Structure 1
């Protein structure tokens, strides 16, 4: 397995800036036969767009990702973000994975009608295959769905883990169900391209009284290690586990997420634009064979708004 060699390219790309496509967002509640409440971000410019199912992190509201999801949408994607559980009422991991699978099934059956209702009939969801994505525990949920732990016959085209976490520590009893990490390199049986975006400060404690939010042994490093090619790994060196959330996260939940994890000192907008841009560049490359943006980042990672460690990308064997 050889690391991808990158030819010298003009290191410029638009993915780290807001895209040119106008967008809006709307809510879908469970009265529309949807298994969980949804926040949907969609372009308003007529066209057919790939769909991303995005799973939020542990005890985090889906609305806290609005700026990040809007950035991705502005480059030509529909994002469906379910609220899988509420603060104080987290589900067992297997239940959470099950509901994520049910939302995926609903997307193929119910999303198009909602797009027509809230936008217009000229916005089409590309439903032949879906993209799975998630942050923190939601990243682990996305991996679990991709690995077949949810009852769905859907074909998924790509998988995105944003600082995925599988538990409080590498001790098996402290991991959330299902136990998908094996400790064996390239053990994930995934027939799709995968990108893992980690944080440099995730494994650090916010204080002496709190555990790290993305502990060593169960964080992005292990998730990437267990992926087979094609896969990519990026690390935002100077940012923390919750730094891709909105600046304004109101209420008790919002106050908690601001202090529970180690945070970077730079503007969070730089982190959001970096994560959003990496997602867009990766999907353009692997879904549309448009490699310009990803190659530009690989040739010069410093073009990203937030500092990146040297990325690693492996092509399919």
Structure 2
């Protein structure tokens, strides 16, 4: 066997995987169509806005570390609390997300710190798990509410469109046809390697089942999509360490946590990886600064955990 050559150190460099220069301030407000968890820079300035949709039965505050990481780089993150009772029927939450987006232009400024100004001409959309599905559904025009703002980019963090192939989210946006999504904005899909695995090997139950997870979302996007996989981590590993006790009811949170296979590595590094990818995407498409995103694509080894770049299977 030939000796393996030593791998050179990555030439690329980026600071998106580290906390940014701004102090991020969490705010909760009920003065909106839905209760909002907002994380904003507390320094005077004008900032882009990210609308973030949480996963099923996960409170937005369970993403505090992730959202603070994003906000510390100069973004206002608005996370509505979506409480649809039926996990497979997405229309009410899609409509609620659209209503919150419409509210931003008239209501967001009033709940932000003094001299912090939202720039809604630079608006992005993201979501995790079921929230990732909702984000795609909203961007694809599935809301029954007219939108008065335009999203400039879309990010799905381990998006999931159902419990299994017999229990898909409605509306059913996945078609199984490559490149079928009609999206005219740049897209990023972030997947986890353990999300599709069952905690109990003999029971075919996972938090992000094959055919309904990040791989299918990426497959149905067009060539304006970047895809990344974090192979050694699971579906919930980017959440705060104590998310199980902060979810809607500790019993539900505990059940959800026990169903999702988790990686054995450091969870903070996983969160920083996801946060850094989101920041790089926002910088590229809201700020016009592509250097960090290009560096990650060219050398994914600069991420704090193992990171793989997905390749389109279709020409």
Query: With structure 1 as the length reference, what TM-score do the two structures score?
Result: 0.89
Deviation of residue 184 (structure 1)? 1.1
Instruction: Tell me which residue corresponds to 1:78.
Output: 76
* CA contact 2:47–2:75 (8 Å) conserved in 1: yes
Instruction: Tell me which residue corresponds to 1:169.
Output: 164
Return the match for 1:160 from 150, 155, 161.
155
Instruction: Tell me which residue corresponds to 1:235.
Output: 229
Over aligned residue pairs, what C-alpha RMSD do you find? Answer: 1.9
Instruction: Tell me which residue corresponds to 2:34.
Output: 36
- Structure 1, unaligned stretches of length 5 or more? 1-8
* CA contact 2:18–2:276 (8 Å) conserved in 1: yes
Instruction: Tell me which residue corresponds to 2:177.
Output: 184
Distance of 1:287 and 1:195 partners within structure 2: 14
**Cα distance, 1:260–1:49 mapped onto 2, change above 3 Å:** same
* CA contact 1:68–1:244 (8 Å) conserved in 2: yes
**Cα distance, 1:255–1:297 mapped onto 2, change above 3 Å:** same
Q: Does 1:109 align with 2:78?
A: no
Deviation of residue 186 (structure 1)? 1.1
Question: What pairs with 1:184-223 in structure 2 (closer than 5 Å)?
Answer: 184-207=177-200, 208-209=202-203, 211-223=205-217
* CA contact 1:60–1:253 (8 Å) conserved in 2: no
Distance of 2:299 and 2:190 partners within structure 1: 17
Instruction: Tell me which residue corresponds to 2:7.
Output: none
Distance of 2:176 and 2:253 partners within structure 1: 34
Secondary structure in 1 matching 2:229? strand
Instruction: Tell me which residue corresponds to 2:3.
Output: none
Return the match for 1:130 from 99, 123, 139.
123
Distance of 1:179 and 1:78 partners within structure 2: 30
Deviation of residue 210 (structure 1)? 6.3
Distance of 1:90 and 1:212 partners within structure 2: 15
Distance of 2:105 and 2:25 partners within structure 1: 20
Deviation of residue 39 (structure 1)? 0.4
Deviation of residue 91 (structure 1)? 7.5
Distance of 2:311 and 2:44 partners within structure 1: 36
Instruction: Tell me which residue corresponds to 1:145.
Output: 138
**Cα distance, 1:287–1:312 mapped onto 2, change above 3 Å:** farther
Superposed CA offset, 1:12-46 (max 9, x none): 100000111112011011xx2x1211100000111
Deviation of residue 306 (structure 1)? 1.4
Instruction: Tell me which residue corresponds to 1:3.
Output: none
* CA contact 2:70–2:275 (8 Å) conserved in 1: yes
Question: How many pairs are equivalent?
Answer: 297
* CA contact 1:202–1:240 (8 Å) conserved in 2: yes
Secondary structure in 1 matching 2:70? helix
* CA contact 1:301–1:311 (8 Å) conserved in 2: no
Secondary structure in 1 matching 2:237? coil
Instruction: Tell me which residue corresponds to 2:47.
Output: 49
Distance of 1:89 and 1:218 partners within structure 2: 18
Distance of 2:306 and 2:54 partners within structure 1: 24
Instruction: Tell me which residue corresponds to 2:92.
Output: 95
Instruction: Tell me which residue corresponds to 1:6.
Output: none
- Structure 2, unaligned stretches of length 5 or more? 1-9
Query: With structure 2 as the length reference, what TM-score do the two structures score?
Result: 0.89
* CA contact 2:53–2:79 (8 Å) conserved in 1: yes
Secondary structure in 2 matching 1:125? strand
**Cα distance, 1:223–1:89 mapped onto 2, change above 3 Å:** closer
Distance of 2:309 and 2:156 partners within structure 1: 18
